């Protein structure tokens, strides 16, 4: 690890100090390397239908070990390592993992994305192949529906929503400890994310600032929220910031005159960046600056006057790794999640077009690099205004987001069925929040307010100052190590705040800030505090007494850590969806082992079709209900019941209320769940939880 300055050599440090620096360097890249190896081996096995514990553990484990060995070889230590900083960082990460592990959620009944990921992981862990078969219901029937919330029906079978990366990761927990083991993987990943972000802070701001970055990051509500249940954002964060760490290490190796040692790290950084697409298709947007940056590095090698610039040699390995990782992501999406990508086509196709433009500009810029360099030097000779303009632009952009609620109200008219469902959800949430009904509202104009809630106004101000200072230095040819981190953080933050593209209820919408925005702003804020403290230390009043500088830094640290902690207190100590694992297990025990399950009610069908199919291991389908009704026609149900009987299996009907089953036989309640769920707040930070009750009734139709 290293600061942002250029160091041509390494001072020999005391062994304990050096060991501490290397430990912090290692633990902040191992999560990304191990996850990359697992995904690299896991996807081909899944495509072949061999995603089973033994082959995946052997190949995935071997790939993870090989990547870790390559990434940790001749690892650079921190320029100024501190044992207490490493120990404090490890303590924060461990505390985060234990705290979130004790209060983890149990989102298994399919209502929103976490339960969809959980059920996807359950299926992969138990079967190791896709698509999901529909099961035998006595032949095709127009009244049978095999899709439900979180899964699509295709010609070859049932396909889960979302990219395969997170379920392949969460399946590890299921193999080790069943459903309870699966539910504990998110807190482990959350702790690893703390280490990863702290490692980035140590590399760019110095090891002494890593504990503060770890703490501010760990207490932010979006991080706590996504570290307690099966989301995709934390694995994505690990890959993206782990990749930044690997690339910074590659640069440090070059600067330390270790011949060729930086190339493997640069290739592994590109691989980790590219594999982010296998975790979240939105990762394509996050890595666009990486593609352009790799082109810049390659172009630098083609400019005669820039050839002494050693970082240029990292361009080809970085680009190679990025292409390989991206290929894995696109393959996984096209083969395993095509209906999901088609659903996202309205936003995905413009993103692909932007990606094509970036590729074309990168290729052209690389090819014309010598010609561009000559012209650029002439243009920049008299452009002394450029550094100040770059800094001012950063401030103006953030100011624009701050005033946006007063000049814009973001709306969307419902056109598609999905839009209408979202609009109906927003209207119901407005009623629950005591707001005026307006189903066209999206509340995106308040996106910077979301950041104020979860990171704190002082952190946002410091991050803005830091970004402005760094932008000014970069345009003056300084702080090259910050170029890619600042580009990724700035690009993703601006595009996310402009269009979060998520239902705007909180804490659910806060997940959109997790992969880049929250850790990026924390990183910038910590660097900004370091910059400010050094400037204050040079003033006469602070220079007179060293204690004053330390007090100022302590006060700044409190201003960074306390506001996000205050926001988190309202929900941090209340686990949500507890009892779902036991409720689902009880449901599975109540259904006959040789049953084929027909769900004869709308809400139960949405929530439990894949749960019964995946966790209970039984053929399950919904019975089609007419528009305006929650239950299907009785004649359709009776016909399907008889068709199931002809297969030799036992027909079982499920519904939410006993009255919905009375026409078919006596009903028994097989699930009675009373738990807490996430709040749905539209205009204020979430400060509590809501109650949730789920009842399921069952009947075995009489002859």
Q: What is the mean pLDDT of residues 505-531?
A: 97
- pLDDT for 254: 82
pLDDT over 60 (residue 312)? yes
Establish how many alpha carbons lie within 13 A of residue 420's alpha carbon, considering only the half-sphere containing its beta carbon: 3
What φ, ψ does residue 130 adopt, rounded to 5°? -135, 155
Q: What is the mean pLDDT of residues 396-414?
A: 94
Rounded Cα distance between 474 and 485, Å, is: 12
pLDDT over 80 (residue 375)? no
- pLDDT for 456: 96
Three-state secondary structure along 43-77?
Answer: HHHHHHCCCCHHHHHHHHHHHHHHHHHHHHCCCCC
Q: What is the mean pLDDT of residues 61-84?
A: 81
Q: What is the pLDDT of residues 147-160, one digit of tens each?
A: 999 999 998 899 99
269-283, 492-506, 533-547, 648-662: which range is least confident on average? 533-547
- pLDDT for 345: 86
- pLDDT for 380: 61
Share of the chain above pLDDT 90, in %: 77
For the chain, what are the domain ranges? 22-105+182-572, 579-703
pLDDT band at 257 (very low <50, low <70, confident <90, very high): low
pLDDT band at 421 (very low <50, low <70, confident <90, very high): confident
More confident residue, 257 or 531: 531
Arithmetic mean of pLDDT over the chain? 91
pLDDT band at 259 (very low <50, low <70, confident <90, very high): low
Q: What is the pLDDT of residues 615-636, one digit of tens each?
A: 999 999 999 999 889 999 999 9
pLDDT over 70 (residue 7)? no
- Pick left, alpha or beta for residue 172 (phi over 0 → left; psi -120 to 50 → alpha; otherwise beta): alpha
Q: How many helices (H) and strands (E) would you count in the chain? A: 27, 8
Q: What is the mean pLDDT of residues 540-569?
A: 83
pLDDT band at 11 (very low <50, low <70, confident <90, very high): very low
- What are the percentages of helix, strand and coil residues in the chain, rounded to 5? 65, 10, 25
- pLDDT for 368: 77
Neighbour tally for 477: CB within 10 Å: 9
- pLDDT for 4: 45
Q: What is the pLDDT of residues 27-44, one digit of tens each?
A: 999 999 999 999 999 999
- pLDDT for 306: 53
CB 72 within 8 A of CB 26: yes
Strand ranges of the sheet holding 689-699, from the earlier edge strand across to the other edge: 144-145, 620-623, 595-599, 650-655, 689-699, 668-678
Share of the chain above pLDDT 70, in %: 92
185-199, 527-541, 607-621, 680-694: which range is least confident on average? 527-541
186-190, 196-200, 301-305, 675-679: which range is least confident on average? 301-305
More confident residue, 227 or 3: 227
Three-state secondary structure along 556-615?
Answer: HHHHHHHHHHHHHHHHHCCCCCCCHHHHHHHHHHHCCCCEEEEECCHHHHHHHHHHHHHH
pLDDT over 60 (residue 9)? no
pLDDT over 60 (residue 15)? no
pLDDT over 60 (residue 560)? yes
Q: What is the mean pLDDT of residues 180-209?
A: 96
What φ, ψ does residue 410 adopt, rounded to 5°? -80, 125
Rounded Cα distance between 274 and 243, Å, is: 9
pLDDT band at 562 (very low <50, low <70, confident <90, very high): very high
Q: What is the DSSP letter of 146?
A: -
- pLDDT for 13: 47
Tokens of 94: 């461990």
pLDDT over 80 (residue 567)? yes
Tokens of 556: 């700044």
pLDDT over 50 (residue 680)? yes
Neighbour tally for 546: CB within 10 Å: 10
pLDDT over 60 (residue 429)? yes
- pLDDT for 316: 92
pLDDT band at 79 (very low <50, low <70, confident <90, very high): very low
pLDDT over 50 (residue 196)? yes
Q: What is the mean pLDDT of residues 364-377?
A: 74
Query: Whose CA is closest to 114, among 279, 241, 229?
Result: 229
Helices (H), 206-287: 210-219, 221-226, 233-255, 262-279, 283-286
More confident residue, 302 or 344: 344
């Amino acid at each position: 690890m290293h600061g942002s300055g250029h160091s041509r050599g390494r001072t020999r440090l005391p062994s304990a100090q050096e060991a501490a620096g290397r430990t912090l360097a290692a633990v902040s890249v191992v999560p990304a390397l191990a996850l990359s190896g697992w995904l690299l081996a896991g996807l081909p096995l899944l495509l072949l239908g061999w995603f089973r514990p033994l082959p995946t553990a052997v190949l995935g484990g071997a790939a993870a070990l090989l990547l870790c060995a390559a990434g940790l070889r001749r690892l650079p230590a921190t320029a100024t390592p501190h044992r207490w900083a490493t120990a404090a960082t490890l303590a924060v990460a461990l505390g985060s993992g234990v705290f979130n592990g004790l209060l983890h959620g149990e989102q298994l009944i399919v209502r929103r994305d976490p339960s969809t990921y959980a059920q996807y992981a359950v299926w992969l862990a138990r079967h190791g192949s896709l698509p999901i078969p529909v099961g035998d219901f006595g032949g095709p029937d127009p009244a049978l529906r095999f899709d439900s919330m979180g899964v699509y029906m295709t010609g070859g079978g049932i396909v889960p929503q979302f990219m395969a990366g997170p379920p392949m990761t969460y399946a590890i927990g299921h193999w080790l400890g069943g459903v309870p083991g699966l539910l504990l993987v998110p807190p482990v990943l959350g702790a690893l994310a703390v280490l990863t972000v702290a490692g980035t802070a140590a590399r760019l701001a110095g090891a002494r600032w890593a504990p503060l970055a770890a703490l501010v990051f760990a207490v932010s509500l979006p991080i706590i929220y996504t570290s307690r249940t099966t989301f995709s954002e934390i694995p994505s964060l690990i890959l993206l910031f782990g990749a930044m760490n690997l690339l910074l290490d590659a640069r440090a190796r070059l600067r330390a005159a270790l011949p060729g040692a930086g190339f493997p790290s640069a290739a592994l950084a590109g691989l980790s960046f590219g594999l982010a697409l296998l975790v979240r298709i939105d990762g394509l947007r996050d890595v666009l600056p990486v593609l352009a940056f790799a082109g810049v590095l390659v172009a630098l090698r083609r400019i005669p006057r820039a050839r002494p610039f050693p970082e240029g040699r990292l361009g080809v390995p970085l680009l190679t790794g990025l292409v390989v990782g991206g290929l894995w992501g696109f393959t996984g999406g096209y083969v395993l999640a095509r209906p999901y990508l088609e659903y996202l086509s309205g936003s995905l196709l413009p993103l692909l077009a932007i990606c094509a433009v970036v590729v074309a500009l990168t290729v052209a810029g690389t090819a014309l690099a010598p010609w561009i360099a000559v012209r650029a030097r002439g243009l920049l000779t008299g452009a002394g205004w450029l550094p100040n303009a770059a800094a001012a632009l950063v401030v103006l952009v953030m100011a624009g987001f701050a005033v946006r609620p007063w000049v814009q109200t973001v709306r969307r008219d419902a056109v598609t069925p999905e839009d209408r469902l979202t609009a109906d959800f927003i209207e119901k949430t407005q009623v629950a929040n005591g707001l005026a009904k307006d189903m066209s509202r999206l509340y995106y104009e308040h996106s910077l307010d979301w950041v104020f809630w979860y990171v704190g106004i002082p952190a946002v101000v410091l991050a803005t100052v830091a970004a402005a200072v760094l932008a000014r230095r970069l345009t003056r040819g300084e702080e090259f190590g910050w170029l890619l981190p600042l580009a990724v953080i700035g690009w993703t933050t601006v595009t996310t705040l402009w269009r979060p593209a998520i239902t705007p209820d909180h804490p659910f919408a806060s997940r959109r800030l997790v992969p880049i925005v929250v850790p990026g702003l924390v990183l910038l804020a910590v660097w900004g505090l370091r910059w400010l403290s050094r400037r204050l230390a040079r003033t006469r009043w602070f220079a007179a007494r060293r204690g004053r500088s330390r007090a100022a830094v302590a006060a700044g640290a409190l201003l960074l850590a306390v506001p996000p902690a205050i926001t988190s207190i309202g929900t941090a100590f209340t686990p949500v969806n507890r009892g779902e694992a036991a409720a689902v297990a009880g449901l599975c025990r109540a259904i006959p082992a040789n049953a084929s399950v027909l769900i004869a009610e709308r809400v139960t069908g949405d929530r439990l079709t894949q749960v019964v199919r995946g966790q209970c291991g039984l053929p399950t389908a919904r019975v089609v209900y007419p528009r305006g009704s929650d239950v299907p026609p009785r004649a359709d149900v009776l016909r399907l019941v008889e068709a199931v009987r002809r297969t030799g299996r036992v027909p079982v009907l499920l519904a939410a209320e006993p009255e919905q089953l009375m026409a078919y036989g006596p009903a028994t309640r097989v699930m009675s769940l009373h738990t807490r769920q996430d709040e749905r707040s539209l205009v204020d930070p979430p400060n509590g939880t809501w109650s949730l009750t789920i009842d399921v009734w069952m009947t075995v139709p009489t002859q």
